[in-house]
Chain A
């Protein structure tokens, strides 16, 4: 049998390749030219790489729109509008993180090329996650961004909380990866393939589901449960959330923001593709499980956030609660649910990056001032920072005129449309609880007098730029959300 070279559409993974290539280039440049060039070249290169990746993603969007969604690399990579939407969002998150990190790393005296390279590797892995149409590719993507994040969480080597967070994240992350692998093994056992879609000679999971009578898919159902556990860990869903507060607190704030925005998007992108598309025939099997996870995630995240005294931990629990809100869109399983979840992930990412940018600035040297009490009277000292933080917090709380409200509206709307009002009622009650702790931060910033000798925070131009972008996005997407929801609706085109 003659060897047949698979047909390859490079555009499908061009953004990933660009980002990963830039990361390698950064390391090379850094080790070859050591100290003989201005340091800003490194973040500049990273920026350029991410911009090119974003540009290629847009090209991919046009491709998916004109040529229709396609499978690539013998069906292992999906080139569709859905993945492109994810990649564009991830490139944006990556850019904002790089800009924010520049001033942060200089302040902490840890500016090294490895940091930027790791961010880029993580972005590449997350991007691949949105495209993966084969469970093994998905696992590779998952590990690529996870390992980069393990290192990034512990990047402040001198910090004990950083080390603790990284250790916890790594141990529990490895554990969850094992679950994910087990799930893959079961899928292979059930269907004889790890492909998601029918491609080449293989049936893939969707082909298997189309041809197998419902009573015989038991093993696959078990596999789905394991896959949900593995991915649920990455998106910080209860009860797989235990690493979240420690990792979020220990990581450098720009990394925390990036994790909250990026891991969530990557994890949920995989969940959306798996549950709402490939495994949708099994919806009656996985839905009860996901409803259970969603409701306890919303409630536990919101309730535990109430008692937090550290702003980073508070935002960590809030991020857990938000995972629950995104799950309501997945539970809905309808068109609005998919586009609503995408919209949610994109807007939440921008908002949470902004919030952690503020924490990075206000936290001061070595992030010693991230406790709620350290934010006392911020409004008197830095009215603009307090105002922006208020905007982000209101958005996280889901108050109208912010993108967070619209995001909740679209996923809750999808769930109502699908007939899951009671899940939505749990969701809104959890939001009401959540509003309490967002308000607590505002109370501290506005209504309590500042400490007498509090050091002034320094806001550099790049951080200011990140805040301007995220702040504007939070406000504008709350008022004129038509274009983005339109994009998210177009992104419902899946391969396969």
Chain B
């Protein structure tokens, strides 16, 4: 079964599904909804095939394929996954059916909605699987357009502004990356876009610096690192629920993934030189994101800012230069996808009931919606990093990795966890606890079966990773070790790494 091209089929099944759904007459709403659900489930099953066939003993790329595409320009179709992209692919395909379920409340223009949603999935899976820079860039940009329409057509009040801002911010970054890719293509000597062929390209330090910055521009906007984050609160807040889930859970990971896969291995010396800056920005992001989140009155905006803080943890882990940090950062990418994805689903459920996202419009509703409240608390605790839940494992590893290499930087980072407890528990308290403040909320319906069905798998996984993260870490570690090695071992200037001495 290992020869079966699970990966390539999984990438294109959603796109084919999108085209087929586009052909269904628009009044057959049930067919469209269930069709989209079926396509996303099929994609998930295919990606499970990847998990089964994945060989955790190697750090190379596997389960992919390779074909000539535009030989005139050295463009090929090359795919493959390692321990990082495996989990990203699984996260995407796991969340997509749940997003489809969360989109049951969409009633306007259903057909284009699901077409864009499924097209988005193809783009996301493609980014994680592509091992040709041209192909990668295609998928990278291809995620922009569907998300732009999802925000702009089905978002909330300020959606036009948010959609435009989202598109332009990301576009500027990725265009600079395109120049970098082209430069690398011509410098590589072989005139190929193949990632593995470009990997060892010898580059002078000054060139590396510029190229790293060109790639970094794209990834830092996507992650987003403070101060490139300003598009995020708008986009996340105004997007429809499934859009927010996909944005937070997967699209932000594109940036972190790009750093791990491209920015560090291609330009290791420049990356090493940038470590103090990126670590600094990450820690600023952790603290700043948390503080701003605590001040929000809009529940969705609060979660959006919490993403800034969480992503700060992830970049911190990636750049501290230890295997622990890197593995923790990668695991945290999955964790954040699950926890924040679930939080957005829960807020979406609240919005569907009351058509408001303001914390002040709720209060004391735990009595009316006990199950919803319980799930919210559970997910919030996982997001904070309560032991025995998934967030703890990732954050602990990141902090451990930070401590091993940078020592006292761990203090402000750990402080970020305290702040996370502040803003999430405080929000929980204001929304669910205390006396009922609005009479309207008394008759609020608890979770429906559909909502329970979309939250239950996430909660199960949150608990599973918290109790037994070994299957995840086993597959992440080889890839993490490889990237850490690239980051810490000099290829141009020997022994210049200041922070390596601290280990």
Contact = CB atoms under 8 A, between A and B. Distances in A.
Interface stretch (A22-30, A32-40, A413-421, A466-474): A413-421
A161 interface: no
Contacts of A443: 152, 160, 163-164
Interface string A418-450: 000100110011011001100100110011000
A486 B160 CA distance: 41
A412 interface: yes
Interface in B140-165: 141-142, 144-145, 148-149, 152-153, 159-160, 163-164
Interface residues of B, number: 32
A150 to B, nearest CB: 38
B183 A439 contact: no
B439 interface: no
Interface stretch (A126-134, A229-237, A258-266, A394-402): A394-402
Given A400-B137, A439-B164, A485 B73 contact: yes
Interface string A387-417: 0000000100001110001000110110011
A158 interface: no
Nearest to A481: B70
A482 interface: yes
Find the residue from B141, B163, B167, B175 having the highest chain A CB count within 10 A.
B175
Interface string B64-84: 000001111100000000000
A432 B168 contact: yes
B138 interface: yes
Given A400-B141, A439-B167, A443-B160, A416 B72 contact: no
A485 B72 contact: yes
Contact of B148 (A400, A413, A424, A439): A439
Interface in B92-124: 112
Contact of A428 (B112, B164, B179, B183): B179
A425 B176 contact: yes
Contacts of B70: 480-482, 485
Contact of B160 (A400, A405, A447, A481): A447
Contacts of B138: 400-401
A443 B161 CA distance: 10
A409 B171 CA distance: 15
Find the residue from A400, A409, A410 having the highest chain B CB count within 10 A.
A400
B172 interface: yes
Contact of A399 (B144, B168, B179, B182): B144
B178 interface: yes
Contacts of B172: 429, 432
B167 A409 contact: no
Contact of A435 (B171, B178, B179, B183): B171
Contacts of A432: 168, 171-172, 175
A421 B171 CA distance: 18
Given A416-B183, A428-B176, A485-B73, A436 B142 contact: no
A243 B131 CA distance: 47
A246 interface: no
Interface in B324-343: none
Nearest to A447: B152
Contacts of A394: 145
A428 B153 contact: no
A16 interface: no
Interface string A252-291: 0000000000000000000000000000000000000000
Contacts of A482: 69-73
Given A394-B145, A446-B152, A416 B159 contact: no
Interface string B24-58: 00000000000000000000000000000000000
Interface string A365-393: 00000000000000100010000000000
Nearest to B70: A482
A393 to B, nearest CB: 11
B186 interface: yes
B193 to A, nearest CB: 10
B148 A421 contact: no
B332 to A, nearest CB: 30
Contacts of A413: 73, 182, 185-186
A379 B153 CA distance: 11
Contacts of B73: 410, 413, 482, 485
A103 interface: no
Nearest to A383: B112
A447 to B, nearest CB: 5
A412 B182 contact: yes
A447 B153 contact: yes
A489 interface: yes
10 contacts: A400-B137, A400-B142, A410-B73, A412-B182, A417-B186, A421-B179, A439-B167, A447-B163, A482-B70, A485-B70
Interface of B: 69-73, 112, 137-138, 141-142, 144-145, 148-149, 152-153, 159-160, 163-164, 167-168, 171-172, 175-176, 178-179, 182-183, 185-186
Interface of A: 379, 383, 394, 399-401, 405, 409-410, 412-413, 416-417, 421, 424-425, 428-429, 431-432, 435-436, 439, 442-443, 446-447, 480-482, 485-486, 489
Given A400-B137, A400-B142, A443-B163, 11 more contacts: A416-B183, A421-B179, A425-B179, A428-B175, A428-B176, A428-B179, A432-B172, A443-B152, A480-B70, A481-B70, A482-B69
Q: Name the 3 nearest CB pairs between A and B, nearest first.
A: A428-B175, A400-B141, A482-B70
